[in-house]
Amino acid sequence: MTNITLKEFLKLPIAKQISYTTILQHIKGKELIKIPITELTYNDVKIVFKEFQKEIPNIELIFCKSLNITKENYLSLSIVSYFQLKNHIEKYFIKLKENEVKLLQSINADAGIWEMAGGNDLNEFSDILPLSQLAKIYGGYPFEYGEKNYIEIIYLLRMNNKQAQIEQEYQKLKSKK
C-alpha cells in the first residue's frame, strides 16, 4: 500500500478504497495541523457539530471548515494524514462540544417549571437562541453574532450565564432578609 493523496484515493475502485479504509481507519489520530479554533466563527463550529450528528457526514465540509482550508488543500492530503486528521478532528470536536455544554450549563431550580411551560419547544432554535440572548444584551442582530469568533461568543455566553446565576442567588438572599 502506498501513501497516495486523498484525490488519488477517491479515484480508486471501491474494493481498493475499502482495503485502504480497513487498514487506516484505526490509525491513531494525530495533530498534524492545528485546528485554528481562535479563527473559526460560531457558525463554522456549529456547522461542524451538525455534520458530525448526521448519519453520513460531509467529511470534506468538516475538514474545510474545521481546518480553515480549501478543497484543493483537502484533496492534496496524503491518505495516511487524512485518516490521522479525521480521527483527531472527530475527537477534538466531540471534546469541544462536551466542554461547551459544561461551560454553558446552569443548575436552575426552576428548570422543571421551564419545561412545563414549554421551554423544550425552543430546542429547534438552540443554535440561534444564545446569539439572540447576546443581541438583547449588547444590541444588534442575532445572526450577525454568528460570524463572530467562536471563542469570544462562548466566553460572553459563559460570562452572562454566570452573572445571571449570581444575580438570581442575590435576589433569593435579598428576599430572605
Q: Are residues 19 and 52 in the same domain?
A: yes
Mean predicted confidence (pLDDT) in 79-108: 86
Tell which of 104, 129, 151 closes a domain. Answer: 104
Q: Are residues 70 and 157 in the same domain?
A: no
Answer for the pair 95, 102: CB distance below 8 angstroms, yes or no: no
Which pLDDT score, from 0 to 100, does residue 103 have?
Answer: 80
Answer for the pair 156, 134: CB distance below 8 angstroms, yes or no: yes
* DSSP 8-state assignment for residue 118: T
Residue 84, in any domain of the structure? yes
Tell which of 86, 104, 122 closes a domain. Answer: 104
Tell which of 58, 79, 104 closes a domain. Answer: 104
With pLDDT > 90 as the criterion, what percentage of the chain qualifies? 57
Q: Are residues 121 and 100 in the same domain?
A: no
pLDDT in tens, 97-114: 999 888 877 655 566 676
- Cα gap 126→103, rounded to integer Å: 15
Alpha helices in the chain (DSSP H): 6-11, 14-24, 42-53, 59-67, 71-75, 79-104, 111-116, 129-138, 142-145, 150-176
Residue 89's pLDDT band (cuts 50, 70, 90): very high
> What count of other Cβ atoms lies within 10 Å of the Cβ of residue 32?
14
Nearest Cα to 160, choosing from 126, 124, 123, 135? 135
Residue 1, in any domain of the structure? no
Residue 65, in any domain of the structure? yes
Q: Are residues 31 and 52 in the same domain?
A: yes
Question: For residue 6, what are the contacts with CB-CB under 8 A and spacing of at least 6?
Answer: 74, 75, 76, 77, 78, 79, 82
DSSP string, 25-46: TTSPP--SS---TTT-BHHHHH
Range of the domain at 49: 6-104
Residue 165's pLDDT band (cuts 50, 70, 90): confident
| Domain count within the chain | 2
Mean predicted confidence (pLDDT) in 11-36: 87
- Cα gap 58→171, rounded to integer Å: 48
Residue 93, in any domain of the structure? yes
